[in-house]
Chains A and B, each alone.
Chain A
Amino acid sequence: MAKVAYYPGCALEGSGGPYDRSTRQLVKALGLEMENLRDYNCCGAMEVKNVHPMLQTYLRPGTWRSPPSRWAWIP
């Protein structure tokens, strides 16, 4: 079974809950397995863009710095 890394950030655990649920349904229907990234950082939402537009690009590598382990817990 193919595995995909999942970055729930902050919104998908809170205000974006419905998106989280539909993503999980979709991944299940596609026969994929999903693992949360561990120790991810803030994506910056739309606020950092107003401080500097490149920040939203450079905040990304941080989220890929810590790939999920085999043992990552999926809620």
Chain B
Amino acid sequence: MAIHEKSLIEAERLLEHDSLVVDGVDVSGHWNTMITPRTIKDYDDDFEAKIQSYAGGENVHRCWQCGSCTNSCTMYAQNVQFNPRYWIYLTRLGLTDELIKDKDIIWQCVSCNKCTNICPKDVKPEGVMKALSHWMEEEGITEKSPSRIFDEEFADQIYAHGRIEDSKVLKNFFKKTGQPLVQGWLVEFSKRMMKGLPVAHGMRMGLNLVFTPKTKSWGKTGEVLQAYVREQKEAAHG
């Protein structure tokens, strides 16, 4: 039997052989293509609530599956497997196994927030993407994503000084992710930046490398914020 939309079916579920025997019945010849039925038996009833306990996932229950998020998605334009609407659907059903299949692409959300702006139900799909990738990290399903490492480095510098120093953020990010400090794109980027840069600006950037910029009245603000974040996270998921 001809199955025209094979691309929509996961390859491992397609049975296609010259001679095929299913449950003792020989179905070779014309009927050589079968689809393994998908049996779903492990709904996690508490999964939606769990994602709601993560920052950004609070409104996931509001979704009515219009698909505006996927339609507006920057990443979907790059890769049609990146489908926020589908992941929100899986989250609501509690189909963690299906979600985990996409563990290597969920974190790729670039936070352009077009989905959040367009969502008619204020689901904040961008937040849900972050909540899902944080959940995967905490469960040990995925390693800490590069984007997460960058965000933490950024926040750490704010905690410490009230400000960040771009080159220091980048340097520490490269170190933490095991990348070389000098990379082709970075050299090109710096060259082009230097071209039109006012002299005073360049001098200030140089000074910032030597003296880390600080907010003078910062005091203990960073410590307080850090303690607050720790408490909130403990209260939300222990």
> Which residues of A are at the interface with B, using a C-beta cutoff of 8 A?
10, 13-14, 39-42, 44-55, 58-59, 62, 65-66
Contacts and interface: CB of A to CB of B under 8 A. Distances in A.
A45 B111 CA distance: 11
A48 B217 contact: no
Contacts of A58: 225, 228
A55 B162 contact: no
B212 interface: no
B17 interface: no
Contact of A46 (B55, B111, B164, B216): B111
Contact of B151 (A10, A13, A48, A54): A48
A45 B215 contact: no
Given A50-B55, A58-B228, 11 more contacts: A14-B201, A41-B163, A47-B150, A47-B155, A48-B158, A50-B151, A52-B233, A54-B228, A55-B225, A55-B229, A58-B225
The SS class assigned to the A binding surface is loop
B154 interface: yes
B152 interface: yes
A51 B151 contact: yes
B85 interface: no
A68 B130 CA distance: 37
Interface of B: 55-56, 111, 127, 130, 134, 147-148, 150-152, 154-155, 158, 162-164, 166, 201, 215-218, 221, 225, 228-229, 232-233
A40 to B, nearest CB: 7
Given A58-B228, A62-B221, A40 B215 contact: yes
Given A41-B218, A58-B225, A53 B55 contact: yes
A52 to B, nearest CB: 4
A14 B166 CA distance: 12
Output the residue of B127, B147, B155, B163 with the most chain A CB within 10 A. B155
B145 to A, nearest CB: 10
A36 to B, nearest CB: 14
Contacts of A50: 55, 111, 130, 134, 147-148, 151
Contacts of B130: 50
Contact of A62 (B56, B154, B166, B215): B215
A53 B56 contact: yes
Given A39-B215, A39-B216, A52-B229, A62 B162 contact: yes
A70 to B, nearest CB: 18
Contacts of B155: 44, 47-48, 51, 55
A47 B228 contact: no
9 contacts: A13-B201, A41-B158, A41-B221, A46-B111, A48-B155, A49-B55, A53-B55, A59-B158, A65-B217
